Chains A and B, each alone.
Chain A
Amino acid sequence: SAVISQKPSRDICQRGTSLTIQCQVDSQVTMMFWYRQQPGQSLTLIATANQGSEATYESGFVIDKFPISRPNLTFSTLTVSNMSPEDSSIYLCSVGLTSYEQYFGPGTRLTVT
């Protein structure tokens, strides 16, 4: 398994601002993912964070709104840009291991006012 931490754990932000969420893993991993979980909903994949190249975004998510960085094999950031109340969600990072399992961080609870 892997130990994953996220910062911040929660934040309340003003409409129109941006927030960068950090994800740190205790070991080197190839695959890192970012998910969104809206209140009472299941997980929706935003993008796959690739080390050394641009992230791969899922349908409905664009780089201008959710820029992602992956500078090395243990760290990634997700920025939520120009926020609106509809962006209020829990944002989760996960890592994929060689056994195809994914392990999740504790999440960042974002509230946009």
Chain B
Amino acid sequence: EDQVTQSPEALRLQEGESSSLNCSYTVSGLRGLFWYRQDPGKGPEFLFTLYSAGEEKEKERLKATLTKKESFLHITAPKPEDSATYLCAVQAYNFNKFYFGSGTKLNVKP
């Protein structure tokens, strides 16, 4: 069965304290792995798509990487405005359906 597991559930960082979020997945034939940011009361905002192992994408303080079993979202020198829930999702080749993880709630303290 296709599954996505995110860890940790919650993460508290001091401003400037770098860290990583993990997304482990099992899927029959990965078409893509997607990272989203969700602020309270809003819809998920698209961040990155990763298609194959070894691929990396960067956007400001965020960097996403992909292996055959997991993806990491690295946050370098975070700021309070990076506080949000980060969701990952996977899509298999045979389906258009996204399987979402439960998310990591990030809180960055000034």
* Interface: A102 (CB within 8 A): yes
Q: Which residue of B lies closest to A109 (CB)?
A: B41
Q: How large is the interface on A (under 10, 10 to 19, 20 to 34, 35 or more residues)?
A: 20 to 34
B49 at the A interface (CB under 8 A): yes
Residues of A within 8 A of B103 (CB): 42
Judging by beta carbons under 8 Å apart, are A43 and B49 in contact?
no
B49 A107 Cβ-Cβ under 8 A: no
Asked if B100 and A102 make an inter-chain contact with CB atoms under 8 angstroms apart, the answer reads: no
**8 Å CB contacts to B: which residues of A25-49?**
31, 33, 41-45, 48
Using a CB–CB distance below 8 Å, which chain B residues touch chain A? 31-32, 34, 36, 41-46, 49, 87, 89, 91, 96-98, 100-103
Instruction: List 16 contacting pairs A-B, 8 Å CB cutoff, sorted by A.
Output: A4-B43, A31-B96, A33-B96, A42-B102, A43-B98, A45-B98, A94-B43, A101-B46, A101-B49, A102-B34, A104-B36, A104-B43, A104-B45, A104-B46, A106-B42, A106-B43
Q: What residues make up the interface of A, taking CB atoms closer than 8 Å to B?
A: 1, 4, 31, 33, 41-45, 48, 58, 92, 94, 96, 99-107, 109
